Amino acid sequence: MRIENIEKTRLTADVFEEKNFGSSFSDHMLVCEFKENEWQEPVIKPYGQINFTPAMHALHYGQACFEGMKAFKGENGDVFLFRPEKNFERINKSAERLAMPAIPKEIFLDGLKALIDLDRAWVPSKYGMSLYIRPVIFSTEEIISARGSNSFMFVILTSIAPDYYNKPLRVKVADHYSRAANGGVGYAKAAGNYGASFYPTGLAKEEGFDQVIWTDAATHSYFEEAGTMNIFVRIEDKLLTAPISDRILNGVTRDSLILLAEKNGMTVEQRPIEVSEVYEANQNGSLKEVFGCGTAVVLNNFSAIGYTDKVMELPEITEESWGPQLKKQMNEIQYGIADDPFGWRVLVERK
Ligand SMILES: *Cc1c(COP(=O)(O)O)cnc(C)c1O
C-alpha cells in the first residue's frame, strides 16, 4: 500500500462543530483500481477530485454499491471500529450481485485501518460524534454499451458524523411504491436502491412525514424496512423484526441489537410483521414502541405511523422504553465505555 501524505492538514476546531452529516471530509482517502482483471495496489492519498468523462459506466448503468460504518474515539484517545468484518463481507455480497469483482480482505480491512490511523485526529472525541466511513465501488470503464464494466474503482472516504439530537420520527407506510422485490437487489447496498427511494420519500415528506416504511412489494401488508433502517416493533414484552430475505438489508445494527436485546433477557422474534397487527396492537394498548436502526443513527424511535389515510400516534417514549436503553448500551460498547462481551470493538492500532 502506498501512502501519499497531505502537505498540510485541513483539520480545524470548526470541523467538530459540523452540523451536517457526510459533508466534511477528512484529509485522506483510499483509492484502489480494478483493471486487467485484478485489483491494483491501493493508494492512500489526499482527499480530492478524481478524473472521469461523462461516458463513465457507473453514471449510466449504476454498477455501484457502498458501505456505511463508523470510527469512535474512546476516553483515552483510542480509536475503535465496530464489527468491520461484517461490512467487508457485505460489500462483497453486494458486489457479487452487481457483477463486480470481490475486494480482497487486505485491501478492505488493512486499507481501512491504515486510513483511519492516518486520519485519527479527525475522529471526534465527543460522545455521540464519530467519523463516518464510506467505502464505495463503482464501474469506471469509458463505455456506454449496456453490459458489465471491465474496470472499477474502490474508494474509502471518511467524514464527520455530527451529534444530532434524534427526535422521534413520523413515518408513512408505503402502499404503492416499493423498495425491493423478490429476486431483486434489496439485500445489496446498491446505489440505485437509494436513487429510487428519494421520490416516494419526497411525497411522504410533503404529507408531513420524515420517512417511508417499506412494505412487501406484492401486498404492501408487511413491514420490511424504515427508510434506510431495519425496523423493530415491540408488542408487550416481545420485540419483532422482519426476517432477513433478498428484499431486506442485513443490517449490522439490527444483528447487534438482537444479540444485545437477548442478553438483556428480552424476547426477540424474527418473523413477518403485519401492518394490521401493529395497528390493532396500537388500538388495544399492547403496542409499546416502534423503532428503526442503522449505523448512522444507531436507533431512532417513531412517534407516529401513517397508513393509508389514518395516522397511528404511538405511545410516548419513557424510562421504560427499550429503544433508548438499547441505544445507550450499543453506544457504550462502541465508544469503549462499557465491556464488550461480544468482541465487537476493533482497536485501530497506531503505526
Ligand atoms: C445500510 C442500511 C441499513 C442498516 O444497516 P447497518 O449495517 O445497520 O448500518 C438498513 N437498511 C438499508 C436499506 C440500508 O441501506
pLDDT single digits (tens) 297-310: 999 999 999 998 99
Residue 157 within any structural domain of the chain: yes
Please state the φ and ψ torsions of residue 136, each to the nearest 5 degrees: -145, 140
Shared domain for 54 and 98, answered yes or no, is: yes
Residue 340 within any structural domain of the chain: no
CB of 68 shorter than 6 A to ligand 1: yes
Shared domain for 321 and 226, answered yes or no, is: yes
| CATH label of the domain that carries residue 286 | 3.20.10.10
Shared domain for 75 and 23, answered yes or no, is: yes
CB of 225 shorter than 6 A to ligand 1: yes
Residue 293 within any structural domain of the chain: yes
Give the residue, out of 249, 253, 295, with the most ligand 1 atoms within 8 A of its beta carbon, to mutate for a pocket test.
249
The protein residue with its alpha carbon nearest to ligand 1, atom 2, reads 228
Q: Residue 105: which domain range?
A: 2-161
Say yes or no to pLDDT of 164 above 90: no
**Which residue in 17, 50, 22, 26 sits closest to 118, CA to CA?**
26
Say yes or no to pLDDT of 104 above 90: yes
Shared domain for 190 and 118, answered yes or no, is: no
90 Cα to the center of ligand 1, angstroms: 11
d(CA 27, CA 57): 28
Shared domain for 220 and 149, answered yes or no, is: no
Shared domain for 328 and 191, answered yes or no, is: yes
Shared domain for 198 and 143, answered yes or no, is: no
> What is the per-residue pLDDT across 262-290, written as a single tens digit (0 to 9) for each?
999 999 999 999 999 999 999 999 999 99
| CATH label of the domain that carries residue 80 | 3.30.470.10
Q: How confident is the model at residue 163 (pLDDT cuts 50, 70, 90)?
A: confident
Give the residue, out of 65, 69, 228, with the most ligand 1 atoms within 8 A of its beta carbon, to mutate for a pocket test.
228
Shared domain for 212 and 147, answered yes or no, is: no
- The total of structural domains in the chain comes to 2
Shared domain for 31 and 106, answered yes or no, is: yes
Say yes or no to pLDDT of 343 above 90: yes
Mean per-residue pLDDT of the chain: 97
**CA distance readout (Å), 199 to 177, 190, 196, 202:** 9, 17, 7, 5
Residue 144 within any structural domain of the chain: yes
The pLDDT of residue 63? 98
Cell numbers 471526534: residue: 124
Q: How confident is the model at residue 31 (pLDDT cuts 50, 70, 90)?
A: very high
Span 60-78, average pLDDT: 97
User: Helices (DSSP H) in 45-120: which residue ranges?
Assistant: 57-61, 84-97, 105, 111-118
Percent of the chain with pLDDT over 70: 100
Which three-class secondary structure state does DSSP give residue 329?
Answer: helix
284 Cα to the center of ligand 1, angstroms: 31
Say yes or no to pLDDT of 143 above 80: yes
CB of 189 shorter than 6 A to ligand 1: yes
293 Cα to the center of ligand 1, angstroms: 8
Residue 229 within any structural domain of the chain: yes
Shared domain for 134 and 215, answered yes or no, is: no
Shared domain for 118 and 173, answered yes or no, is: no
The pLDDT of residue 69? 98
Shared domain for 7 and 156, answered yes or no, is: yes
Span 116-124, average pLDDT: 98
Say yes or no to pLDDT of 165 above 90: no
CB of 230 shorter than 6 A to ligand 1: yes
The pLDDT of residue 215? 98
CB of 63 shorter than 6 A to ligand 1: no
The pLDDT of residue 175? 96
CB 196 within 8 A of CB 263: no
Is the pTM of the predicted complex or chain greater than 0.85?
Answer: yes
Final residue in a domain of this structure, among 161, 181, 197: 161
CB of 70 shorter than 6 A to ligand 1: no
Residue 349 within any structural domain of the chain: no
The pLDDT of residue 285? 97
- The strand ranges marked E within 162-203 are 169-173
Which three-class secondary structure state does DSSP give residue 219?
Answer: coil
226 Cα to the center of ligand 1, angstroms: 10
**Which residue in 160, 155, 92 sits closest to 129, CA to CA?**
160
Q: How confident is the model at residue 349 (pLDDT cuts 50, 70, 90)?
A: very high
Q: Name the grid cell of 55.
A: 461516458
Instruction: For residue 256, give the ligand 1 atom closest to its CA.
Output: 8
Sorted by sequence, the CB contacts under 8 Å of residue 201 that are 6+ apart come out as: 211, 212, 227
The pLDDT of residue 166? 79
